[in-house]
Amino acid sequence: MQEMTMTDTSNPSQQNPQRRRSASALRSLIVSWSAVVLAGAITALPASLATAQPQAQQPPQAQAIVPRAPDIAATAYILLDAKTGKVIVEHNADQQLPPASLTKIMTAYIAEVEIDNGNMSLDDEVHISEKAWRTQGSKMFVDLNSKVRVEDILRGIIIQSGNDASVAMAEHLAGSEDAFADMMNQHAQLLGMTNSFFMNSSGLDTEDNYNIMSARDLAILARATILEHPAHYGLYAEREFTYNGISQPNRNTLLFQDRNIDGMKTGWTTAAGYCLVASGERDGMRLISVVLGTASEEARAAESQKLMSYGFRYFETHQLYRGDEVLTSAKVWSGKENSVDLGVSEEVIITIPRGRAGDLQASLNIEETITAEVAQGQVLGTVDITLGDESLYHGNVVAMQAVERGGFLKRLIDFLTLFFTNLFS
């Protein structure tokens, strides 16, 4: 058996001086690299995510209470935040029902699309055919074979709910009402209105000629009208329109009862009952309500008012991120810069119970190792926003600026640092 000789490392005189210098250099190098790793790993958290410092004890604040939604006497209804699309209250929202003159929101929407796309102007003249002139029900009272400006026809559709105006617009845009109904169905498909089908432009119901829509689809259409074509939305707030010497008030009585309401449209047939799509804005929050199948003119206004009051009182539209907002920064390896700002590139708005903004929780999930080069806008993680057990937002976290690759020495140092970091982790 070979005898093993152990060196007494407690006696410096017995150690090899060259080995002592090599070991010391290696230890120094590891310490230096460790310091680099530690410095690079520390990132700045935004104030909203930072750990709170100990403060003087404050009295507990009462948590905001949201009662259950009011009872609504309607066959179907929905209430949503127009800016976020968040549904606050709904009942039978996907049930297919006759929409009556709420159909005209789609007729007006298509006209607004054509105007904003440059295919028609407000000063264009619309020919009034015999079919349009003879159309029964509510009327604008246009004259046979007359020429009427597009802007006046739009007012006749929106304010006076004129069936004659609706048919005239359909024929002007598509040549016939049947062809226009096909346009209506195509637009509905593009908007994601999966429970709607159109056969005419006015909403009149016959056994062989009728339309169907759901409360949700009407809310989708109303939201598109407001957000996509804001220049025309003001027509829905006008309380009266006079044409051919005949003045008619807007049938949306909420315009006269609630200063926050600025649109949209009423409807009634025997099959549909009394219907109303309403929209209003208060304290930066815009709501859209739809009620279908109520019992009277008074009921459709009263039930819509219940929904609006509930939404405005107990909910708010909250700006979560402004857009191009930095949330944190992260270490970048092998780059000219040692870190990159991370954030959300677009404005993020959510709907929350009023007074609960302070209870929102943000969770950032960032890639463990980010290596240059990094492109501006490159997705490097995600952010999740929750309120209690409810997930309110999930989105990408992106690089707010580009980071180019560093020089050879920088890349070599970072490579070795990463190697030793992984080795000792």
Active site residues: 101, 104, 161
Token code pair at residue 230: 């804001």
φ, ψ of residue 83 in degrees (nearest 5): -75, -35
Token code pair at residue 171: 């024929």
Judged by DSSP in three states, 299 sits in helix
Judged by DSSP in three states, 395 sits in strand
In the chain the first and final C-alpha atoms are separated, in Å, by: 39
Phi-psi domain of 323 (left: phi exceeds 0; alpha: psi -120 through 50; beta: other): left
CA distances (Å), origin 43, targets 32, 336, 361, 363, 382: 19, 17, 19, 15, 16
If you ran DSSP here, which 8-state letter would residue 201 be given?
S
Element (H, E) at 417: helix 408-424
Token code pair at residue 368: 């463990």
Element (H, E) at 170: helix 163-174
The CA distance from 2 to 260, in Å, is 98
Taking CA 195 as the corner, what is the angle to CA 191 and CA 198, rounded to the nearest 5 degrees? 80
The CA distance from 157 to 167, in Å, is 10
